[in-house]
Structure 1
Amino acid sequence: MNAIQPSRPPLQPIQKRRIVSRPKRHLRQRSYQVMALESTAKIAVNLVITAVAASALTQLLPYHWLQQEKLREISTEVKLMEGHVNDLRAEFNRNFDPQEAKVIRQRQGYRFDPSQRQIVLMNQDRREDEQTDSLP
């Protein structure tokens, strides 16, 4: 009987293919979800930081403008005082100048050099008014 039957190759059991890509696909999808969640968290944190920074700026800008205005006022006062100080320095130097000492003493003491003539200025209009008032 063996001789009559054609020879067939021995049957091998059919192996089912295992799909390996499905777990990898699942892992990829899972990693994309994690990355999306992480990116969303980063964006949310950055938005919160931006809101806090904007709030701080809105509170600090009026204070900054006020300080700048005060600084301008102080700078103006400093310039005025520098001019006043320069005038006082010039007067101080003139007061202690030996060549000017005689002139300064004359002005402050109302004493004049005997060789100088004293001139007194009078208002002509006033004198005429006084004369007309004194006439009966």
Structure 2
Amino acid sequence: MNAIEPSQPLQPAPSRRIVPRTRRQQRRHPNRAIAIETTAKLAVNVVLSSAAIAALVQLLPYHLSQQAKLGEIREEVKRTEKRVNRLSNNFSRYFDPQQAKSVMQEQSHRVDPSQRQVVWLDNNTTDE
């Protein structure tokens, strides 16, 4: 019983060597999936941003031309409003019974018989 048993050479288990290698690979890149996902999100956002910028660049000339047209229309509206106000004042003046006589004189170039005509003469002129 006390006899010495022949010793068998100890061989390391192959599973021990394989397990540390896989663990080492996992330790080297523990955030690899997160990095890939973040890179993909960043690439998609860059593509979408560039598409939005390209669309804005194409819309900018159209917007500027529309603003110029709007400015022209506003100026035309101002001119038309002035004209309408002037015509409205003239209309109310033409149909005012108190001013009918003066309006008729302006339009017909006739003078009221009771009114005297005044002719201005220049005093500085000398007859030679």
Match for residue 35 of structure 1? 34
CA distance in 2, matches of 1:47, 1:33: 21
Structure 1: distance between partners of 2:27 and 2:45 = 27
For residues 61-100 of structure 1, what are the structure 2 equivalents within 5 Å? 61-100=60-99
DSSP-derived class of the 2:83 partner? helix
Distance 2:67 2:27 in 1: 57
Larger radius of gyration: 1
Q: Does 1:50 align with 2:49?
A: yes
Length, aligned pairs only: 108
Question: Identity over the aligned pairs, expressed in percent?
Answer: 49
Letter in 2 for 1:97: D
Letter in 2 for 1:78: V
CA-based RMSD of the aligned residues comes to 3.2
What pairs with 1:4-15 in structure 2 (closer than 5 Å)? none
Deviations 1:17-49 (CA, angstroms, capped at 9, x unpaired): xx8x96777667676111111101100000001
Task: Structure 1: state its 5+ residue gaps.
Answer: 6-15, 122-136
How far apart, CA to CA, are the structure 1 residues paired with 2:118 and 2:106? 14
Aligned counterparts of 1:120 and 1:28: Cα–Cα separation in 2: 114
Residues 91-123 of structure 1 show CA distances to partners (whole Å, capped at 9, x for unaligned) of: 1111111110111123333443221245789xx
- Looking at structure 2, the residues matched to 70 and 100 of structure 1 have their Cα atoms a distance apart, in angstroms, of 42
Stretches of structure 2 that go unaligned for 5 or more consecutive residues are 3-12, 121-128
TM-score, normalised relative to structure 1:
0.62
- Which one-letter code corresponds to 2:54 in the other structure? S
Report the TM-score when normalising by structure 2.
0.66
Q: Which amino acid aligns with 2:101?
A: K
Whole-angstrom CA distance in 1 between matches of 2:89 and 2:82: 11
Runs of 4+ residues over 4 Å off in structure 1: 21-31, 118-121
